[in-house]
Structure 1
Amino acid sequence: MKLINKSILTVAITLSTASVYYAQQTQDTVQSTRSKDIEEVILQGVTDIAKDRKTPVAVSTIKAAQILERLGNQELPEILNTTPSVYATKGGGGFGDSQIVIRGFESRNIAVMVNGMPVNDMEGGTVYFSNWTGLQDVTSTLQVQRGLGSSKLAIASVGGTINFLTKSADMKKGGVIRLGVGNNDYLKTSFAYNTGKSENGWSSSFLMSRQAGGTYIENTDYEAYTYFFALGYQPNKRHNLQFTLTSSPQWHDQRTYSSTIQNYINYNPDHDGSPYRQYNSDYGYYTNAEGKKVALANRSNYYSKPVMMVNWDFTINDKSKLSTVFYMSNGRGGGTGDIGKVGGKSMTGYYDNMGHFNYDAVFAANQAVNVNTAAAGSTLIRRASINSHNWYGVLANFQHKINDNWNFSVGTDDRYYYGYHYQVASDLYGASGYKDNANKNIAPNIVSNTYDYQKLSWNPFGGKTAPIQDQIGYSNDGEVIWYSGFAQVEYSKNNLSAFLQGSVSNQGYQRIDNFVQDGITKQQGQVVNTKTGFKNLFGYNVKGGANYNIDEHNNVFANIGYYSKQPFLNTVYPSNQQVVNPSLTNEKIFSAEVGYGFRSGKFTANLNLYRTEWRNRWLRRTNQTFTLPDQSTVTGYAEINGITEIHQGVEFDGTYKPTNFLEFQGMFSWGDYYYKGNATGATFDDNNNPITVAGNSSSTTLYLDKVKVGGTSNNSIPQMTASLGATVKPVKDLSIYGTWRYVGKVYSSIDIATFSNQSAQDRGVLQLPDFNLFDLGISYKLRLKDANQYFTIGANVYNLFDTTYISDASTNVFASDAPSKLADGTANTAKKSYQDLGYMYNGLATDNRVLFGFGRTWAATLSFNF
């Protein structure tokens, strides 16, 4: 991988480069805002859609046609990679396992919404895009608001807001049939049809799709379905009702563990010294009854998250409108991994010479164990960690136009959530059962029933819950009650538009531990009960902004805001125990932004400068590997609190269309994200037991002051991105595009052990190599005599030049560090560094655990619209 060529970057900046997807925005001259447009100053209904040259936020909008044309078999968030300050990767590489960062903030601090409905997990704020893969089929508009955003809701969109607007029932009559193929046996088929609106106001729309295959990574097979149904009724001009039901049940094998660079090299089948990017350490082989070697995944995910919504827009009179949405979501599913040990070894002790699990050895070891007389955890099995929930909510917004210049709105956002979290046996790996002593009410407990993760649930009202006698490891529920109110006032006159809004919210958390014995179990020296009772936390936010259109070409805007954000449930009850955090405080976020825009018939450009300070932050780092005093390793997580971050930067974006046949698009963003002050953390294994690191206490101080912000899991955060694209339309209905994308100043995840001393603070976070990627695509429409009927043929190639690059990293091993052992397994008694020993790859020590980005991939589609 080579560093970015400075001349290319200069060209990108000179062109005032912009997001590829700004190509959809109109290039016509924008007229001055008229007072009668007051209802469009900020948003309509509950969807919070920003308006160009009116809403004072940094925004990018993507239409359905662009998603269908360019996404192919990529992950849904990757469509945003040419948006300023956005970094989306494939994560571990499994289907739907993508990760996204906006302005240095990860998904749990980015508000993700569907039709204005918040979908971030109510316990931890996370968003699992594998649950939302069907959105690429049903989204009509995707809008990203970076920073505070224009949402009136009491949601802490610290990094930004992503709002998916799905198709409505009253779309134009017609249908489409699509077929997609791609690398690694990717196959997708879909059918959609809209009835259009009848004379008496009824309309409907539906879609069915299926996709299956594998990804670029070894043994990442998957299968996913999507169903979507919308029914609309508009009896008159005052009332409009829309019912929507959608879900994407799926299962997929995963790669959750980031291996060392040396393992990628060692396990390359070609043995040519280069890394084998497809390598997956989370699966292996066993010999079946026919004597054949069969692949078996240790890590898999399965989930079904149907969402039902009823939207009602009530036009009370010419000045007043009430918009309401009622919704429910009953998610069912979980992910698999291993639990227990056999022969004193966990799964990592059973690798073969190609870095895959030797299941035959695991099965044989398990079969030799008498589970009835052995100690608890003496067999090694695959467990499924269930993460299901029931979620109900109502969102209402009343808007009133006071006069031609003033408008106000008030509303409420109320939700109830109940989450189910427990483990069950998924595959006994040849054992007769698994003995577990975690359940104090049934101890010891031997389970032999298994639950098949590949059985997809289509039931929108939920599925079965495993009985308590089949639950192992842990069994706890999270109950969340959220109610809030918000208000906003808007002003618009001539070229000035402004808003001021605020919200208050109460978030009540209760933790329920089904393995605890009421009044008997002790945790942290306290006697605890099965139910903790609700812990209510009050939060609020206030923000405002203004936009001024200097003339028909130029505009400026500014916004400012402050959040007092409630912490997540696992902060309220740290270490997964029934004891309330004694040092519980709200997170405090202050943000300010200024921007400039230029619009003309051929050229569009935007410039934004922002700064966000985030205090009292808490986070959990998952998928960590810790060394115990006996030098064995255990995987688990770390809890870190008291973190303060500064995120500031500048963004450019724009488009240039010299002719009707040629258009340039691009963007450039530069950020400076760093920690302010130190923090403390504690470590726990995957089954929530406190562990020690290198013989020391599980609590440790993290020396983070002035250190660059890195990721919190198997992901990294870049602080410089750029892209430059061109779209050529040489003849009617033929479109050819190419995109160059640069990612730089990429910082690894923070390793808790690395920052446990002040010397680590001086060297900071590991910086990964910069990289450049190129994509190419083509699309052609073949029209029939009927104007409403046409074929569309499209093809895309991603990472055109098959660049080898590191997309994410989990560790901070520096070239000057000394490995404990040499390549031949002997001790490094001379304490030579990685650099001295030559244990390096592209400037990185080879003991760093990383995820390589995909090599060259491709996808092609054929669709028929009628």
Structure 2
Amino acid sequence: MRKIKANYFVWIFTLFTAFAYSQGKINGVILDTDSGMGLPGVNVTVKGTNEGTTTDSEGKFSITTKTQTGQLVFTYIGFQTKTVNFSVEKTGTIDLGKINMASESNQLEEIVIKSSVIDIAKDRKTPIAVSTIKSAEIVEKLGSQEFPEILNNTPSVYATKSGGGFGDSRVNIRGFSQENIAVMINGVPVNDMENSRVFWSNWAGLSDVTSAMQVQRGLGSSKLAISSVGGTINVITKSSDLKKGGTLSSTIGNDDYLKTLMSYSSGKLENGFSTSVLLSQTFGDGYVDGTKFAGANYFVALGYELNKNHDFQITFTGAPQWHNQRSAAPTIADYIKYGDGVGEPNIRYNSDWGYLNGREYSFRTNYYHKPVASLNWDWKINETTKLSTVIYGSWGRGGGSNGAGAIRGNRFFSNSLRTANGLINVDLINAYNSGQQVTIGTTNFTRSQINGDFQNSASTGNNATNGISKISSINSHNWYGGIVNLNKKINDKFTLDFGLDARTYRGIHFQNLNDLLGADNYADNFDVNNPNRVLSFEYSTKPHFNPFFNSDYQQKINYNNDGLVRWYGAFTQLEYATEKLTAFVQAAISQQGFRRDDYFKYLTTDPLYSTDYENILGGNIKGGLNYNINKNHNVFINSGYYSKQPFFNAVYPNNASVVNENLTNEKVFGVEAGYGYRSSKFNANLNVYRTSWKDRFIRLTANIDNDLNPATPTILGNAFLQGVEQIHVGAELDFTYKPIRKLAINGMASIGNWKYGSNVTANYQDDNNLVITNPSGEVFTETLYLDGLKVGDAAQTTASIGASYEIIERVKIDGNYRFVDELYASIDPVNFRTQAANDKGSLLLPSYGLLDAGFSYKMLVGKDRADAINFRLNINNVLDEIYIAESRTNIHTKTQADFTNTDGSPNTTAYNTYVTTQIYDGLDKSNQVFFGFGRTWNFAISYSF
């Protein structure tokens, strides 16, 4: 009996052993069709099973399977999906050899993007203008540049470093500022819910964790009712189920730039779990004087695939940072004044800093920590139905500093308080604040005390008691939301999506004290519930690393209010798809509620202390179709209409809790058409578009004497102009050309005509929303002369041409030249209150061109040469071009007619003096501008295993 049992177990063991070893083995190597090089990290799966692997650094793979006859599916971000049939005997091995995968520059395969919450456009399917930037290009070419700058070779995109501080960059698409561009991270909108702004310093580490970034110009393919007037930037971050391996890297650059990074991914384990972790840290002095910075980045992703129907992903990421800024744009005259003395501007000059006791001291420091957590659940209900859900939260903590108060009427930025080299004389401020005698100009001053103390405040008057402090404006928030999307494939042609979008937001706004600069305390009388406070506690201008840090305990000065926003939305999309024709129609509706709590301006018994929610409906409808004429040619068209809720400051203007009775939604109508050409060597896209943006909210203020009696005080009047319209039309071209395997050429060109519509007129009202009239009953009005005025702050004509060439295997050089023209100064429509102002129009800035270059080398190391050491050198603005990237003023050069003698005759001498001394590169030197950076460099070395 025992012998029978023993034999039985031996038989069972043998059976299981045979079963375990009755798997076939498939080998091969995946190559990029264009370059002929191996593709690392390609996903390899046996269709219809959970069996899978990824390729190594040379593109090689080996996979075991229980399936004897089937198909292997190869997927890789930015490449067309490849399917290969196989047949392998049990315990046998086959070699599929070289398998080529073709690049799709505008495509992210659906199998890579599991969640239907993420709206990714597909090449020759989604009928919109789109550009995709792969992670490899971001890692390779971004270097020490700002994250949005990687988009500068995309048609109709203009990104600048703005003041030049770490993370202070900005981006425009088709002439619309980033407040009107939807920024999405893994399908979640991240634009501020009060004002739709995006501060890239809050996302300083985003480039480290980006798998791909897609720019959808125009209304885009997002199903949400978001503010995508100019376009949508979709960022897809790394997931937990990356292939097993990691990276160690270090980057150095000009001005003591240093960045270190490490990452590791476990790969998908047999139990279904996976994890990815990334940590990085960045330091530097900054290219612009007085802009030191330090930032960190952390990213943790945990995944669990319960079975083939349920996939869970948890991500938590943040980038605490601080950086000194150049917030004030100096005049061209000041750049030259503090330059080399021979008329060349010092483009690094910064007027916002100085030295205190021999150490760098900035009045403008930005510090923030904005961690974001999300939980994604993708549920494959059946073969035709999928439910994707994301729940997320964000906890922003931090703000930006400034100077408060004055010394004898001189603010901290006054020329009277500067050293000979144009820096703020912080030592002088500190000495005066502490009661020492100082010399301002040619006069000696000593401050007076209040109740025995040297007391600062926010007063800027010319008095003997006040001093200057450094204070911060805190803009923290708590943000929670969720998106649910049900994707139903009705049949082989129709797919229906339906979803819900809910968000709640509390913005926390106040000021606190950072540095008394030698004074004893700070007096604040802005809190009506606690008047006449005297404070002395100083708070740091460094980010708090606790993501749930509660700042309510802090002593608040000058103002203290919360902005609350609630959002409820529903959306749907019906898509029709065949091999040749793809069409869709989308619709979304949302209710946005705004509430304001003001703890300083109103007594606790005042109903305005905490308002009710002001609810406003909005929504959109859009549709489009793409037709593939043949394998080479396709055409598309799309159109859409948005009814967009106004921003928070339009609902509650004048920093008060009184609702604007003239509220109206902004209206956006866009239409776009495009043509695409695809071949084995040449790809091209041509798009034309027209976008109308109506009923922008603009508030004018003026002191109005409504009884026409100069002896009586004036009242403050407000005019709310709601008929302002911008019309943006243009054409875009981009292409790639690979005449031979080792050479790739890419280029783009875009031409826009972005301008304002007709003039607009509005009545003036007082703070109680009552129309202001004179004794005769005449209503005071204001007209803005905007008809035909060019929209500023972005280049309306751009072009670039670039190439990369593989000299020898894994050694590559590349270069790119970008040309910028029709760049107009930033204009404020409120400055065009006369026809004469419109006659001169928007100030045209000089055109410029920039050359960038790079060198890459990849060295294979380790066992079977499966690991790699990568070297990358970037040189930006190789020719050290001096150029003006933006102007904050619109001051035109004077003409001979502006210089006359007392008898009215031309004063030629005065005019010639003006021309020779007050004009730089065709611009009046009194314009406040930001120059772009000169030549910069960065060098990176990384080890991937």
Opposite residue 400 of structure 2, the aligned amino acid is G
**Matches of 2:840 and 2:848, distance apart in 1:** 22
Cα distance change of structure 1 residues 371 and 205 upon mapping to structure 2, 3 Å threshold: farther
2:392 counterpart (327, 336, 339): 327
Q: Could you say if the C-alpha distance between residues 831 and 575 of structure 1 is closer, same or farther in structure 2, counting changes exceeding 3 Å?
A: farther
Matched-pair contact (CA < 8 Å) for 1:739–1:774 = yes
Distance 1:617 1:257, change over 3 A: same
Q: Cα–Cα, structure 1 residues 518 and 541, in superposed 2: closer, same or farther, change >3 Å?
A: same
Provide, for residues 492-522 of structure 1, a one-character-per-residue CA deviation record: whole Å limited to 9, x for no partner: 123000000100000000011110233877x
- Cross-structure match for 2:88: none
Q: Does 1:812 align with 2:890?
A: yes
> What is aligned with 1:113?
184
Is 1:574 the counterpart of 2:659? The answer is no
Match of 1:495 in 2: 580
Alignment of 1:115-514 (within 5 A): 115-268=186-339, 270-286=340-356, 288=357, 293-349=358-414, 350-367=417-434, 368-372=447-451, 377=459, 378-454=466-542, 456-467=543-554, 470-514=555-599
* Separation in 1, partners of 2:890, 2:896: 13
Alignment match, 2:609? 530
Which residue does the alignment assign to 1:741? 818
Instruction: Say how many residue pairs are matched.
Output: 788
Mapped to 2, the partners of 1:179 and 1:772 lie a distance apart of 30
Q: Is the 8 A contact 2:500 2:569 kept in 1?
A: yes
The answer on 1:657 being equivalent to 2:738 is yes
3-state DSSP class of the match of 2:649? helix
- Shift of residue 466 of structure 1? 4.1
TM-superposed CA distance for 1:194, in Å, is: 0.2
**Comparing 810-819 and 576-585, the one that deviates more:** 810-819
Q: Aligned letter for 2:884?
A: I
1:671 counterpart residue number: 752
> Does 2:882 align with 1:794?
no
Give, in angstroms, the shift of residue 130 of structure 1.
0.2
Q: Does the residue aligned with 1:704 lie in a helix, a strand or coil?
A: coil
Q: Distance in 2 between matches of 1:499 and 1:779?
A: 42
* 1:607-627 Cα distance to aligned partner (Å, 9 max, x none): 0000000001136899xxxxx
Instruction: State the alpha-carbon separation in 1 of the partners of residues 297 and 908 from structure 2.
Output: 58
Of 690, 696, 700, the residue aligned with 1:617 is 696
Q: How far apart, in 2, do the equivalents of 1:596 and 1:460 lie? A: 47
Cα pair distance change 1:674/1:80, threshold 3 Å: same
Query: Equivalents in 2 of 1:252, 1:375: separation in Å?
Result: 26
Instruction: Give yes or no for the alignment of 1:87 onto 2:169.
Output: no
Shift of 1:465: 2.9
Matching of residues 732-771 of structure 1 within 5 Å: 732-751=809-828, 754-771=831-848
Q: Does the C-alpha gap of structure 1 residues 116 and 375 become closer, same or farther in structure 2, counting only changes over 3 Å?
A: closer
Task: Tell me if 1:590 matches 2:669.
Answer: yes
**Alignment partners' CA distance in 2, 1:130 and 1:324:** 28
Contact 1:613 1:646 in 2 (8 A): yes
2:559–2:601 Cα contact (<8 Å) kept: no
Q: 1:646 to 1:28 in 2, by over 3 A?
A: farther
Q: Find the counterpart in structure 1 of residue 45 from structure 2.
A: none
Instruction: Give the match's secondary structure for 1:654.
Output: strand
For the 8 Å contact 1:209–1:227, the answer to whether it is kept is yes
Which amino acid in structure 2 is aligned with residue 384 of structure 1? S
Larger RCO (CA under 8 A, 6+ residues apart): 1
Stretch moving more, 837-846 or 241-250: 837-846
3-state DSSP of counterpart to 2:641: strand
Distance 1:360 1:818 in 2: 45
Local SS of the residue matching 2:878: coil
- Deviation, 1:836, is 4.1
Give the letter aligned to residue 120 of structure 1.
N
Q: Once the two structures are superposed, what CA deviation does each residue of 1:86-141 show, in whole Å capped at 9, x if it has no partner? A: 01100100000001000001111000011000000000000000010111111111
Of 926, 934, 938, 1:847 maps to: 926
Whether the 8 Å contact between 1:389 and 1:417 is mirrored in structure 2 is yes
Give the C-alpha shift of residue 429 in structure 1: 1.6
Paired residues of 1:227 and 1:247 also in contact (CA < 8 A): yes
Secondary structure in structure 2 of the residue aligned to 1:235:
strand
Query: What is the alpha-carbon distance in structure 2 between the residues aligned to residue 53 and residue 186 of structure 1?
Result: 42
Cα distance change on mapping 1:151 and 1:658 into 2, 3 Å: same
Label 1:205 to 1:547 Cα distance change in 2 as closer, same or farther (>3 A).
same
- What letter corresponds to residue 280 of structure 1 in structure 2? N
Contact 1:616 1:643 in 2 (8 A): yes
User: 1: CA distance between counterparts of 2:172 and 2:581?
Assistant: 32
Deviation at 1:214, TM superposition (A): 2.1
RMSD across aligned positions (CA): 2.9
Offset, 1:339: 1.4
Say yes or no: does 1:864 pair with 2:934.
no
Report the residue type matching 1:853 in the other structure. Answer: G
Runs of at least 5 residues in structure 1 that lack an aligned partner in the other structure? 1-22, 32-36, 522-527, 623-636, 684-696, 711-715, 822-827
The one-letter code sitting in structure 1 at the alignment partner of 2:449 is N
Say if 1:865 and 1:576 are closer, same or farther in 2 by CA, change over 3 A.
same
Q: For residues 699 and 295 of structure 2, what CA distance do their matches in structure 1 show?
A: 29
Task: Give yes or no for contact 2:79–2:101 (8 Å, CA) kept in 1.
Answer: no
Determine the structure 1 residue equivalent to 2:624.
545
Structure 2 portions without partners, runs of 5+:
1-76, 81-99, 435-446, 460-465, 702-717, 765-778, 900-906
Report the Cα distance in structure 2 between the residues aligned to 1:159 and 1:192, rounded to whole angstroms: 35
Identity over aligned pairs, percent? 48
2:643 corresponds to: 564
- Structure 2 residue identity aligned to 1:284: G
Query: Partners of 1:29 and 1:570 in 2: how far apart?
Result: 49
Offset from partner CA, 1:168-215 (integer Å, 9 cap, x none): 101100000000000000000010000011111000000010000122
Q: 1 CA distance for matches of 2:314 and 2:541? A: 31
User: What displacement does 1:461 show?
Assistant: 2.5
TM-score, normalised to structure 1, is 0.87
Equivalent residue letter for 1:407? T
**1:380-411 deviation digits (Å, cap 9, x = unpaired):** 11110000000000011000011001110100
Compare 205-214 and 366-375 and name the one that shifted more: 366-375
Distance in 2 between residues matched to 1:338 and 1:459, nearest whole Å: 27
For 1:464 and 1:68, locate their aligned partners in 2 and report how far apart those are by CA, in whole Å. Answer: 36
Q: Report the equivalent of 2:714.
A: none
Structure 2 counterpart of 1:626: none
Please give the secondary structure, in 2, of the residue aligned with 1:137.
helix
Q: TM-score, normalised by structure 2?
A: 0.80
Among 512, 515, 520, the alignment partner of 2:600 is 515
One-letter identity of the residue aligned with 1:67: I
Q: Which has the larger radius of gyration?
A: 2
Kept after mapping to 2: 8 A contact 1:379/1:434? no
